[in-house]
Amino acid sequence: MSGGTGVIGRAAVRSLVAAGHDVDVLSRSAANSTLIGELGARPRPGDLFDIASLESAYAGADVAVNLASHVPVGYAAVWPNAWRQNDALRAEAVANVVVAARAAGVRRVIQHSVSFLYADNGDGWIREQDPIEITRVTEPCAVGESHALGFGTSSHAGVVLRFGSIVGDDPMTRFQLKAAASKRPVGVGRPDQWSHVVHTDDLGPAIVAALHAPGGVYNVGAEPVLRGELVDGYAKAVGAVSGTFMGPVLRRLAGPRVEPLTRSLRVSSDHFSAQTGWRPLRPTFDPAWFDAAELPAAAAR
């Protein structure tokens, strides 16, 4: 596995180990190796930008799971250079994973992706066959998906999981809660548009379910929630009356990275459930989702 010390990765390692699987995780530092060991997995040396090291790490593996990303949190996200590493991980690194997995005899590649690739569909439901909208912001992720799906053959499976926006025990949720407590905008888009979300409790079980999914693209998340309800949920979690949305001036300052987050995405995860039996433990959004963030009391005042 790559990306095993990130938000999705830690959840995946715990769930895979609990399900009885042997898990090796790429590591490039002593600190990460320690964390990987604490999670119950084995650290393995490897570099996503070095195909030979990946091939060595994948030797004897049945599945290659790539969850690597480097998403900037908070106001750092407005700087274009802040996304350079994440874009490389989404495109170039996925190509390397596929090449190395094929050379090592791996039979399945599971690749993490995001549902905001879809085109805005208003109040209409979005399923896996619906169109995506490619911009220079979303292109690296779409390229990575293409590489992963290209791994599939009659005897090999490439599985892409399009997760909703993550809410729960993760840095972005904590940043948004602190912003809401300080009465800063946390919403992007319009209150009457739809957001596709997934709780951190449901990330790991989705990776376990993907071990047996037929090759293809799958949406993974809870029932979509109206963006106004989601933003008000952040506010209520920190004792505020209601949440606020980013205005047009702030959106322009934030640049093109914000645009995919403004799309109305009423995304269905029924196909993934039908193919694997996976069901979200947190099927519908409510303010209790934020309990997992364990926001310090001082930040909520």
CA dihedral in degrees (113, 119, 125, 129; nearest 10)?
A: -60
Which alpha helices (DSSP H) does the chain contain, by range? Answer: 7-18, 30-38, 51-58, 84-90, 92-104, 139-150, 171-181, 203-210, 227-237, 248-254, 270-276
* DSSP letter assigned to residue 73: P
What pLDDT, on a 0 to 100 scale, did the predictor assign at position 298? 37
**Quick one: CA dihedral 76, 77, 82, 86, positive or negative?**
positive
Each domain of the chain, given as residue ranges in start order, spans 7-300
Q: CATH number of the domain at 7-300, out of 1.50.40.10, 3.20.20.70, 3.90.740.10, 3.40.50.720? A: 3.40.50.720
Cβ within 8 Å of residue 183, ≥6 positions away: 240, 244
Q: What span, in angstroms and rounded, lies between the C-alpha atoms of 46 and 143?
A: 22
What pLDDT, on a 0 to 100 scale, did the predictor assign at position 72? 78
- Mean pLDDT of residues grouped by 10 in the chain (301 residues)? 96 98 95 96 95 96 95 71 85 97 98 97 98 95 97 96 96 93 90 97 98 98 97 92 81 78 96 98 95 60 41
Q: What span, in angstroms and rounded, lies between the C-alpha atoms of 241 and 14?
A: 37
